[in-house]
């Protein structure tokens, strides 16, 4: 019989009463060992599980969760990306580098990197969140990647962690460090400047939480300009702004 995947093992865990043996089997699952091996990571099982444990699973099974590691990991990634930007663009203005850094160390880009590593197959979420496939949401994926980078940094230091992250990033998002990325990322600011100049008022974004994210609308001068469904309000506002800039002459 073939080995159950981690998520199949979690399904069994959630289908039973509290079973410590099933829990232990999940926390020491071979998929986790394979992830460490494939990615040649110098990291313990315990650290990996800690990084990939969502608060919802922690609350149900009393194991440490990722939140503080995620907080630390964000700072680690900010430093890694800042160093790389300084190396690539030593003559560029600070403001533009800061904006480009924000296009990289953000939910959308980090989620792409996390998906390229198949982290969604390894994240521990609680029973209710598991049913909703929360582990595949961009917010959870990006948080888990940040937590993982923090754990890698704690054991291996900055150089090793930077090499790992930049390698993953460049494979998943080859254009990540292109200055052209600023054109799309800064869409909200550019739309705000242009509508203010033309209409003497600002764009207005309305959002409504729905089962699979958010419904976001963009209004300009009391007219609905664009709308759509997105995994986060921030991403929705940015993408709608870009759509309107392309569609209209502002």
Q: For the beta carbon of residue 204, count every other beta carbon within 10 angstroms.
A: 14
* Marked catalytic residue, from 84, 107, 146, 237: 146
Say what the pTM is: 0.78
Domain ranges, ordered by start, for the chain: 6-179, 186-247
Active site residue 146: yes
pLDDT in tens, 60-100: 999 999 999 999 999 999 999 999 999 999 999 998 898 89
Fold for domain 6-179?
Ribonuclease iii, N-terminal Endonuclease Domain; Chain A (1.10.1520)
Cβ(159)–Cβ(129) below 8 Å: no
Question: Is the pLDDT assigned to residue 106 strictly greater than 80?
Answer: yes
Q: What is the pLDDT of residue 248?
A: 73
Q: What is the mean pLDDT of the chain?
A: 91
Helices first, then strands: H and E counts in the chain:
13, 3
Q: pLDDT tens digits for 108-143?
A: 899 999 999 999 999 999 999 999 999 999 999 999
Q: Which CATH class name applies to 186-247?
A: alpha beta
For 215, residues 6+ apart whose C-beta sits below 8 A from its C-beta are 207, 208, 227, 228, 229
Percent of the chain with pLDDT over 70: 97
Indicate which residue of 31, 67, 74, 154 is catalytic. 74
pLDDT of residue 250: 60
Backbone angles phi, psi at 234, to 5 degrees: -60, -50
Pair 113, 169: CB distance under 8 Å: yes
**DSSP structural state of residue 5:** P
């Amino acid at each position: 019989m073939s080995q159950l995947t981690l998520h199949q093992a979690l399904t069994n865990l959630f289908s039973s009463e509290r079973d410590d043996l099933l829990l232990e089997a999940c926390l020491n699952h071979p998929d986790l060992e394979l992830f460490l091996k494939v990615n040649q990571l110098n990291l313990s099982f315990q650290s990996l599980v800690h990084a990939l444990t969502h608060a919802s699973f922690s609350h149900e099974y009393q194991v440490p969760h990722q939140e503080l590691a995620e907080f630390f990991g964000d700072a680690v990634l900010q430093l890694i990306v800042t160093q790389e930007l300084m190396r690539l663009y030593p003559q560029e203005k600070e403001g533009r580098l800061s904006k480009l850094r924000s296009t990289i160390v953000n939910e959308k880009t980090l989620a792409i990197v996390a998906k390229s590593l198949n982290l969604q197959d390894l994240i521990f979420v609680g029973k209710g969140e598991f049913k909703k496939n929360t582990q595949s949401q961009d917010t959870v994926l990006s948080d888990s990647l940040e937590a993982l980078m923090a754990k890698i940094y704690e054991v291996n230091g900055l150089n090793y962690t930077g090499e790992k992250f930049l390698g993953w990033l460049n494979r998943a998002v080859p254009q990540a460090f292109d200055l052209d990325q600023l054109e799309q990322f800064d869409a909200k600011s550019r739309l705000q400047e242009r509508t203010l100049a033309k209409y003497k008022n600002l764009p207005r974004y309305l959002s409504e939480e729905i089962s699979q994210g958010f419904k976001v609308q963009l209004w300009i001068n009391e007219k609905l300009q664009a709308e759509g469904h997105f995994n986060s309000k921030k991403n929705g506002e940015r993408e709608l702004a870009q759509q309107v800039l392309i569609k209209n002459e502002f």
